[in-house]
Structure 1
């Protein structure tokens, strides 16, 4: 190329033309006077100028002017221009670029056409320019950029939704989550993506969720389920979970959307909706919501646990306010009541009303059941304060009087709650006056069957406790964890493998504190607590009982309170958690051990 202007120039130009034609290159060459000395035919594929503008000796300015006049000039889009481009200015700018030593740029010459322009000025003054079509590559890049922008916009929309959403691949690993889903678990996307449900929740629920996930991926049928979830911050979240497949059975993805209906379940704030709308939004059956994942981690959020509140000592102002409230409140007299009715609906209503008033209640439906029940409580040396008799079983009142049993009242099923409470209170008042001893005030509980009374044996007072803590836990691993923590805190303890053994150990060792697992074989923790509370009627002391649950669900907490439990903790347990309970209920445990 450096010898192009020598005697062999014609041969070299012919060779250059042959090479450019063979390779399909668009090439033109200018000399130091900015005159064309070579232009290949493919140039007209980009710039369809007349042949005379590509002839040898044509000025570069004339060639560029013809390109400008065609409206396909490099670096502009004439159909989108908002102002008229000055012809002379554009030509001068392009000529100046030809005098750069090296220059390369991708330029658009039409709405959907792009070229790669390479220019090189040689030492002898010759300028070589090559043009290459890059429209397809540029379109792909633009499409990729558009896809990225759309993806970012979609992620922004999903992150703005209040409903948790996640996407899983065929291996059921998380490949997409929105902000609400991350907030639910208290984790970042990086901590969730690439993991499975087995890494986030307990195995029992993980297996249940994976079964439904597989079913949706294999069949393509949508799966819906109302669930109650515990958020990472400890709050309850009521959702209707929908799972559906996107794509075919071989390459489909699983999308899970949790529609948050917490506002409907727990109620709206005043003024948000009208009473008419609230009626239409009411939930018909709360038991339709199945317990689901518990995202609350007591290790990371102990300050949000209910123990953090119950462990705080009341201030003098709180104690004074509580005393004023107690003095102003109407005195409540509680007792043991047996309800005799063959109607299940009436039975459920009376159990609910009376238990909320602080009474221990049991329900039977026939005379033989009542007779067997009265014999059982006499053998256990327990008392029964009142029998409420359905009009359909009215003759049972005479049976009670003949057998010198507890007083009986034939109730009217149409009585309102206040009327029923007044009759019960009047009966207790008459009995107190006759016996000269008050009825003990005990925690409310519902004794579902006479069997709850059978294991309660007469107990006697003991001056001291034989152990500090009784643990009722059936799981071997949890038993080991409890023993390690309690030994580290210097507490004496015994471990019961079921509720029945826990009641027997309580009678034998009289511990100062009980950790009661609510789910155990033989007898669950709720029934064991009711049995202990029934036996404590004859004692002047009351043993604190702390429920141990796998999830902090409202239904479990309600059952715990109804059974007479004082507090609760959530598995997995930690030393800090046990120490908080110890400080709350065993503040003098060290002095007590020294006295023993």
Structure 2
């Protein structure tokens, strides 16, 4: 019997040693009196203690003290730290951990080694400690975390780029896009990722894009092409598109970068300093740009589109620039119809009684001006004497509630049938019968300065202000607006708050600072895309007097003019 017990113990030890070697971990078993019952040889791979420290009967406290002395102590802070753990405190802490019913943790053991420690205290009082080397797994986890952080940083860098950038995989599906690329589509990143060009653009364009993408993937040769893109908001984007192949063989990707060359490809048709004289972006050579994406949806900007179409129609009408006089004693009819006539490209003004009409006829005759149409209100005082006095001019009788659209059609028909006035004679509608004895209102070089970077909005402002007979200039950014303000001293500034180079808020602050030395104040009206509280507060803080929201309309602009410009100045604008 005495020989059986040791033999059984040896068999158990051999089985435990073999299990530890096969499973690749170390094991330490302690009794309820904190003495070592079994310690595998693999423990020496983790802790270089003297081998006698692993013999059965060794106190656990002595083993932990030997581990502390080696300097390879799980759970301690890195060697570079100034904090050092006291020997007795470290031993007491780990003795307490061994008496926990269950304890698991991944701890540093040396500079580059990490171990997973699992401790169990059985109901019999026996404690079991298993140790596994997880350094490789820890390195993979750290590398994965580093890669994730690197990806996040790369995405932040891409989103900060002003040029649209996208990445496609071997199947030509989008796997990465930046914010600038999403903006031209007016789609979120989630709505684009995983899809292909066939899902986003017309089939003929998608086929052309796929051909160039495939060529780049197969040959590795970069592809360059000048393209004209219409953004989802209708604005033009002139780009030089470059495509590159990146990645390892078998894992190639296509990176597309669209470099904005609008400022290089075009210039403003104006003075040499770049200021706008007639408005509109002029492209030096349209033929170099191949048709590309068109993301503009006219239904999303219906009001703007209606204005653009109306402006295009007005440009082609033979009656544009014709002179129309309205004779009415009704101020509401005058305001409604004169505004509509001017907004349709006609030179229009009004008289309110027969004396004013007679004086107007004599003044226009002496100036050599020819009236194209006289609109006579049916309720005009002494209206029966008017046709005989204006026998060389077509007279159209109207009612106070006359439909403006039908009236315009009739005026255009009459003007188209008559020979047009000589272009050498410039119209002079500066006749006014209000406050004849009053002094003339000082006139700036231009009435309105418009600060707007979007080309379509520039066109809309031009059409409206020309229709109202108001002289104006357009600045493409805030800095140019400040420069033109110094040069032209306009009577009113319409300031877009979001512009390149210098935004509208900073431009307003610069103008207000300059006004302090000149002793004057120009009304500044902010033009915002949406009336957010923070925008309105910032408008007020930067010195702006009022605000209007896009899309703008003729009625909106006329209301601003009447509020901030003298009525006499508006009526007498040529």
| Alignment check: 8 A CA contact 1:245 1:255 kept | yes
| Alignment correspondent of 2:85 | 85
| Alignment correspondent of 1:295 | 295
| Alignment correspondent of 1:161 | 161
| Alignment correspondent of 2:45 | 45
| Alignment correspondent of 2:570 | none
> Could you say if the C-alpha distance between residues 317 and 142 of structure 1 is closer, same or farther in structure 2, counting changes exceeding 3 Å?
farther
| Alignment correspondent of 1:131 | 131
Write the mapping of 1:77-476 to structure 2, written as runs, cut at 5 A.
Answer: 77-247=77-247, 250-265=250-265, 285-307=285-307, 310=310, 316=336, 319=339, 322=342, 326=347
| Alignment check: 8 A CA contact 2:266 2:283 kept | no
* Paired positions, count: 339
> Could you say if the C-alpha distance between residues 306 and 69 of structure 1 is closer, same or farther in structure 2, counting changes exceeding 3 Å?
farther
> Could you say if the C-alpha distance between residues 307 and 256 of structure 1 is closer, same or farther in structure 2, counting changes exceeding 3 Å?
same
| Alignment check: 8 A CA contact 1:264 1:283 kept | no
Please give the per-residue CA displacement for 1:410-457, whole angstroms capped at 9, x wherever unaligned.
xxxxxxxxxxxxxxxxxxxxxxx9xxx9999xxxxxxxxxxxxxxxxx
| Alignment correspondent of 1:410 | none
* Cα distance, 1:124 vs structure 2: 1.2
* Cα distance, 1:25 vs structure 2: 3.2
- Give me the whole-angstrom Cα distance separating, in 2, the residues matched to 1:235 and 1:68: 71
> Could you say if the C-alpha distance between residues 44 and 266 of structure 1 is closer, same or farther in structure 2, counting changes exceeding 3 Å?
same
- Give me the whole-angstrom Cα distance separating, in 1, the residues matched to 2:284 and 2:44: 77
* Cα distance, 1:68 vs structure 2: 1.5
Please give the per-residue CA displacement for 1:536-578, whole angstroms capped at 9, x wherever unaligned.
96589xxxxxxxxxxx999xx9xxx9xxxxxxxxxxxxxxxxx
> Could you say if the C-alpha distance between residues 58 and 205 of structure 1 is closer, same or farther in structure 2, counting changes exceeding 3 Å?
same
* Cα distance, 1:98 vs structure 2: 0.5
* Cα distance, 1:174 vs structure 2: 1.4
| Alignment check: 8 A CA contact 1:302 1:308 kept | no
| Alignment correspondent of 1:69 | 69
> Could you say if the C-alpha distance between residues 224 and 15 of structure 1 is closer, same or farther in structure 2, counting changes exceeding 3 Å?
closer
Query: What is the Cα-based RMSD across aligned positions, in Å?
Result: 4.6
- Give me the whole-angstrom Cα distance separating, in 2, the residues matched to 1:315 and 1:238: 42
- Give me the whole-angstrom Cα distance separating, in 2, the residues matched to 1:315 and 1:240: 49
- Give me the whole-angstrom Cα distance separating, in 1, the residues matched to 2:218 and 2:418: 61
| Alignment correspondent of 1:16 | 16
| Alignment check: 8 A CA contact 1:98 1:121 kept | yes
| Alignment check: 8 A CA contact 1:77 1:110 kept | no
- Give me the whole-angstrom Cα distance separating, in 2, the residues matched to 1:225 and 1:138: 47
| Alignment correspondent of 2:564 | none
> Could you say if the C-alpha distance between residues 135 and 317 of structure 1 is closer, same or farther in structure 2, counting changes exceeding 3 Å?
farther
> Could you say if the C-alpha distance between residues 7 and 34 of structure 1 is closer, same or farther in structure 2, counting changes exceeding 3 Å?
farther
- Structure 1: which 5+ runs fail to align? 276-281, 329-432, 441-511, 514-532, 541-551, 562-596
What SS is found at the alignment partner of 1:74?
A: coil
* Cα distance, 1:204 vs structure 2: 2.6
Worse-superposed segment, 73-82 or 235-244: 73-82
Worse-superposed segment, 83-92 or 73-82: 73-82
Worse-superposed segment, 218-227 or 234-243: 218-227
- Give me the whole-angstrom Cα distance separating, in 1, the residues matched to 2:335 and 2:245: 56
What SS is found at the alignment partner of 2:109?
A: strand
Please give the per-residue CA displacement for 1:177-206, whole angstroms capped at 9, x wherever unaligned.
111101110001111112221221222322
> Could you say if the C-alpha distance between residues 194 and 320 of structure 1 is closer, same or farther in structure 2, counting changes exceeding 3 Å?
closer
* Cα distance, 1:115 vs structure 2: 1.2
| Alignment check: 8 A CA contact 2:25 2:133 kept | no
> Could you say if the C-alpha distance between residues 59 and 192 of structure 1 is closer, same or farther in structure 2, counting changes exceeding 3 Å?
same
> Could you say if the C-alpha distance between residues 152 and 79 of structure 1 is closer, same or farther in structure 2, counting changes exceeding 3 Å?
same
| Alignment check: 8 A CA contact 1:224 1:241 kept | yes
What SS is found at the alignment partner of 1:291?
A: strand
* Cα distance, 1:86 vs structure 2: 1.7
> Could you say if the C-alpha distance between residues 438 and 304 of structure 1 is closer, same or farther in structure 2, counting changes exceeding 3 Å?
closer
| Alignment check: 8 A CA contact 1:240 1:259 kept | yes
- Give me the whole-angstrom Cα distance separating, in 2, the residues matched to 1:180 and 1:36: 67
* Cα distance, 1:8 vs structure 2: 5.7
- Give me the whole-angstrom Cα distance separating, in 2, the residues matched to 1:17 and 1:241: 66
| Alignment check: 8 A CA contact 1:168 1:176 kept | yes
| Alignment check: 8 A CA contact 1:35 1:58 kept | yes
- Give me the whole-angstrom Cα distance separating, in 2, the residues matched to 1:37 and 1:124: 14
* Cα distance, 1:217 vs structure 2: 2.1
| Alignment check: 8 A CA contact 2:61 2:91 kept | yes
> Could you say if the C-alpha distance between residues 105 and 96 of structure 1 is closer, same or farther in structure 2, counting changes exceeding 3 Å?
same
* Cα distance, 1:267 vs structure 2: 5.1
> Could you say if the C-alpha distance between residues 177 and 120 of structure 1 is closer, same or farther in structure 2, counting changes exceeding 3 Å?
same
> Could you say if the C-alpha distance between residues 175 and 139 of structure 1 is closer, same or farther in structure 2, counting changes exceeding 3 Å?
same
- Structure 2: which 5+ runs fail to align? 275-281, 312-333, 350-367, 374-407, 420-453, 464-574
> Could you say if the C-alpha distance between residues 18 and 197 of structure 1 is closer, same or farther in structure 2, counting changes exceeding 3 Å?
closer
Please give the per-residue CA displacement for 1:373-407, whole angstroms capped at 9, x wherever unaligned.
xxxxxxxxxxxxxxxxxxxxxxxxxxxxxxxxxxx
